[in-house]
Chains A and B, each alone.
Chain A
């Protein structure tokens, strides 16, 4: 029987260490909404989302109360819009679809909807290209819609034409949302090896390998891991890893319970639990603080990549047994603006973009929520995207880029996004150019799968 100390431990995790379930994300297929007329397609999209997700927020709230565990976000991911946008003749048609998604998201009361997306790792269809070109307008004219583009994979290589266009799209999105510190770019992720079942924004979409409707859950809990590590200060790496594993197991079990309950109450199949350490700007909810607890003076110091690799691996090892199905991004997130410890490290000069790039080789995701000067060229942004995609492609892992070239701001300025998106110091970018490299066009071929050196 459960005892007093176990109950206390669980409740302390929630109250003192910010343990929460970060998101319940309902994946909804829109493939059956295709129609040759854009307005009819939009009507079908709106109807399907609002009927499938009618009770999502209510059920999420009930589960919170029943178990005493906060469920921070209730969200929706949909089929990549480019796949259902065959009816679109202009970029305005795609903006119309984005606005429909936004309206549906508002109606059901969720805080983000992902899936204004295209999968172009080997090439772009006409619809893919139109969608990509419509992103700046779509993100400027909507509030809750998130966009993601998969431009590469280990099996196909990298579509450098898409990378080149996206450099320009990121710039234009920043320009169109300059009144809000270029917030539009916080809703745009560029992926290599994007997972089909990721519940986390802004990169969530409902992949074509998925069923009609599914419940995916993203757990979190950097604060809980940090607190657990405080009790093993000075001990060796074996003890350190064991502690992370045990903590990750407990956190993930809560995610599994919430996922199962949400699935049962909504009568929608359970998909996966995403075992991620997702920080928030709240004090004590930081991945950077875990790395510092391990013994680094500041994140970015020598040893940071090793510490992060160990953390990421231990989280997976601990979490994997706690859930019947694991998927999504599963690993430690290192967004700069959403993690107070990362922000501090940037501000004191310990952490640079180059070090962040190295860190993305060993953890989930990539260059995430990084504010850069507004005058960085589109080609340089494409170059940074290409670098990150190459890391994912060669290492058979998911990588992503979410850069915010803040219009009118430069190194030393601070950008305020508010809420979960936090605030970010504008970081220095290498000023040497790569225009000729990006201008080449075409594809980077798929890498060889042998001779791993």
Chain B
């Protein structure tokens, strides 16, 4: 199964996780794992998700998440997991 990594980085505020999770649920993306921390006042979150059954094209999801990030004042990226695997695992 191809997995997807969603990262959210930015200034912490109320409702970031809720907004991102709602968006993912709306588009049939299943969250497999969440890892989150606050580093020097900045919100960092990584989600591992299954987007294989999403109701939209990957490129469209990327664009919409970027817009959602803009509204929340954070940066949201969605990427195939493989790029991290090849870089950090032999």
> A residues bordering B, Cβ < 8 Å?
1-4, 6-11, 62, 65-69, 250, 253-254, 256-257
Contact = CB atoms under 8 A, between A and B. Distances in A.
A318 to B, nearest CB: 12
Interface in B1-58: 5, 7, 9, 33, 35, 37, 44, 46, 48, 58
Contacts of A256: 86
B68 interface: no
B7 A1 contact: no
A253 B79 contact: no
Contact of A65 (B5, B33, B59, B85): B59
B16 to A, nearest CB: 15
B74 to A, nearest CB: 13
B64 interface: no
Contact of B44 (A4, A66, A68): A4
A187 to B, nearest CB: 33
B86 A253 contact: yes
A57 to B, nearest CB: 14
Nearest to A62: B59
A6 B86 CA distance: 11
A68 B88 contact: no
Nearest to A3: B35
B36 to A, nearest CB: 8
A322 to B, nearest CB: 8
The 4 A-B residue pairs with the shortest CB-CB distance in the complex, in nearest-first order: A68-B79, A67-B83, A253-B86, A6-B88
A2 B85 contact: yes
Nearest to A65: B59
B63 to A, nearest CB: 9
Contacts of B37: 4
B5, B44, B58, B59 — most chain A CB neighbours (10 Å): B5
A2, A11, A62 — most chain B CB neighbours (10 Å): A2
B35 A254 contact: no
